Amino acid sequence: MFRKKLIQRGTGALLLALLALGPGVMPALAHGKSELTVSPAEITPGGTVMLRASGVEPGETFTISLEGPQFRTTLGTVNVTQETFEQGYTVPASVPADVYQVRAVSEEGETLGAELTVSTIAGTASQPESLEPTAELMQLTPYRAAGQIAVMMAAGVLSGLIGLWLARSRQRSG
């Protein structure tokens, strides 16, 4: 009887620890911390920007995009052959001056981002204008990788099953 209760409590504590820590450590288990850097950090339209990523998995394909409050465009793709990649992209001449996010999104949904300022005159980046509130919906990019979502769903199902098992075993013993 004592052994059964000890196993039940230990299982519950282990599940609670996994739920609390599991999603937070998931990227570390996959392949380490991924990072994207952009150089130069400020550029004029028509210029070339160099992207460097580290901590990515070989075999992944990333779509590179430039996203701002009023302008978005796809710059291209990159196929990763090592745990890092370095690729240059030309910023289209039609890109208005503003502060943008350069995003690298893998086919699995992993998203890396870095800030890039596009200015009309080199060396004098303009501050983004204040935007008026609108009724337009804001599109948000999910930042959870598919593996993290799967782990969280599995932990939820496992938690439910253990809860049912504990409730039934308590009913039988009581």
Tell me the C-alpha distance between 134 and 153, whole Å. 35
Residue 55 sits at φ, ψ, to 5 deg, of 75, 25
pLDDT of residue 21 exceeding 60: no
With cut-offs at 50, 70 and 90, classify the pLDDT of residue 50: very high
| Domain-wise residue ranges, the chain | 1-30+144-174, 32-123
pLDDT of residue 125 exceeding 80: no
Its pTM stands at 0.52
Coil/strand/helix, residue 11: helix
- Which pLDDT does position 126 carry in this prediction? 43
Nearest-CA neighbor of 101 among 77, 118, 119? Answer: 118
Strand arrangement, sheet containing 61-67: 42-43, 111-118, 98-106, 61-67, 72-79
CATH architecture of 32-123: Sandwich (2.60)
With cut-offs at 50, 70 and 90, classify the pLDDT of residue 169: confident
**Do residues 103 and 59 lie in contact, with contact meaning Cβ atoms separated by under 8 Å?**
no
Write the pLDDT tens digit of every residue in 81-95. 888 888 899 998 888
- Which pLDDT does position 81 carry in this prediction? 86
Q: Higher pLDDT residue, 147 or 60?
A: 60
